[in-house]
Amino acid sequence: NAGVTQTPKFRVLKTGQSMTLLCAQDMNHEYMYWYRQDPGMGLRLIHYSVGEGTTAKGEVPDGYNVSRLKKQNFLLGLESAAPSQTSVYFCASSKGLLADFGPGTRLTVT
């Protein structure tokens, strides 16, 4: 049981490049979330999903897209990266009230 895993762990992008962050969970959880963590701002919800094939916007969705084609995977895409998207990204999943978090992806956009 690997829990929640995130790929990659680190990435450096140039402005305008695109990339996809992968989140995978093996706990059969219905709900999955993407957050970004910035100093002094806590974790802010980007997008979330309440089940396979469904996604919804969170607090800071602009500049990001997501897909949940399979129940166990939740992808976060940056179509054209900007320096403001430099952050640590956390994925989480939950079935009931408790959420399990991945280890994070540190993304730097230069």
Partner 1 sequence: AQSVAQPEDQVNVAEGNPLTVKCTYSVSGNPYLFWYVQYPNRGLQFLLKYITGDNLVKGSYGFEAEFNKSQTSFHLKKPSALVSDSALYFCAEKAAGNKLTFGGGTRVLVKP
The answer for residues whose C-beta is within 8 angstroms of residue 1's C-beta and 6 or more apart is: 26, 27
Give CA–CA dist 106/110, Å, rounded.
13
Residue number with CB closer to partner 1 (40 or 62): 40
- Work out how close the CB of 106 gets to partner 1 at its nearest, in angstroms, rounded to a whole number: 9
Number of residues engaging partner 1 in binding (CB under 8 A): 25
Among 15, 41, 70, 84, binds partner 1 (CB under 8 A): 41
Structure tokens at 74: 């939740």
> What span, in angstroms and rounded, lies between the C-alpha atoms of 58 and 46?
5
Cβ atoms of residues 98 and 33 within 8 Å: no
**Does position 40 bind partner 1 by CB under 8 A?**
yes
Residues 72-101 that bind partner 1 (CB under 8 A): 90, 92, 94, 97-99, 101
CB closer to partner 1 out of 59 and 79: 59
- The two beta strands, 54-57 and 42-51, are antiparallel
- Chain residues binding partner 1 by CB under 8 A are 4, 31, 33, 35, 40-45, 48, 50, 56, 58-59, 90, 92, 94, 97-99, 101-104
